[in-house]
Structure 1
Amino acid sequence: MVYLYIGMAGALGAILRYIIGVFLFTDSVFPYATLCINLIGSFLLAWLTTKLFRRISLSKAITTAIGTGFVGSFTTFSTLSVETVQLFKNNDIFLGFLYIFISIVGGLVMSRIGFDVGEEVRKS
């Protein structure tokens, strides 16, 4: 049954990712949409892990569906990789390295903020 939940949540995450990607920065050389989606996803998973999953009693199947299914399909490392290679192939070397740097460091920072926000809410 958990596979069904993951699939349904994954479909929702993928659809939301596509919608945001279509409407956000579509005419730019720099992949802002994927960057924003991945940074939001980093925050969201960390926040959910500290706040929602600990505060509300949810089954393991539901927390897996939300974390792995929804957030996992919402964010995407494969698109980050392909877009970086495309930047390099287009001789946008600086933008490629900037994208990698912001994605990794920004993802870690957003995760930390998500954990901190989740902990603050949990304490109150």
Structure 2
Amino acid sequence: MLNVLLVMVGGFVGAICRFSIGEWISVVEGFPIGTLSVNLAGCFVLGWFLTMVRLRKRKMAGVTLLIGTGFIGSFTTFSTFSVETIKLFQDGNFLIALIYILVSVFVGLLFTFFGYKLASTFGKTDEGETI
């Protein structure tokens, strides 16, 4: 029951943040920059966070559920990315749709890697040594 509550609380906060950013940064000349922004930020944060958890070598299931599954899971949005991509294709914006797909996938992977590298470079193990 506690696990469900952790995911729920993290999900609530993540969804509110996602909605707020989506309202603040919307579509720029047909390009869904708001969704792209939250998804790329989520890739970076999740890559960093899960690496830090791994480096600490502790059982942090509750924190991982709260932040990783709950917050980041609801903050990022693959379904909105998919719907926006289909809409771009339907509206005849083929180049924008293709750019959106490529940037979302490849830059998302790159941001996840950057988060991992940041945590690996500056993270410390429980023993105090830098990895």
Alignment TM class, shorter chain as reference: over 0.9
Can you list the C-alpha shifts for 1:89-111, whole angstroms capped at 9, x where unaligned?
A: 10000100110000000110000
Aligned residue pairs, count: 124
Which 4+ runs in 1 deviate beyond 4 A?
none
Which segment is superposed worse, 61-70 or 1-10?
61-70
Task: Check if 1:5 corresponds to 2:18.
Answer: no
| Offset of residue 64 of structure 1 | 1.5
In structure 2, what is the equivalent of residue 31 of structure 1?
32
| TM-score of the aligned structures, taking structure 1 as reference length | 0.92
> Percent of aligned positions with the same letter in both sequences?
37
Which protein shows a greater Rg?
A: 2
The answer to which structure, 1 or 2, has the higher relative contact order (CA under 8 A, 6+ apart) is 1
Unmatched 5+ stretches in structure 1: none
Distance 1:53 1:18, change over 3 A: farther
Richer in helix (by share): 1
Give, as a single letter, the amino acid of the residue that structure 2 aligns with 1:5: L
Please report the RMSD computed on the Cα atoms of aligned residues, expressed in angstroms: 1.7
SS at match of 2:92: coil
Can you list the C-alpha shifts for 1:61-116, whole angstroms capped at 9, x where unaligned?
A: 22122101000000010000000000001000010011000000011000000000
Equivalent-residue separation in structure 1 for 2:54 and 2:38 (angstroms):
21
Instruction: Confirm or deny: 8 A CA contact 2:43 2:109 kept in the other structure.
Output: yes
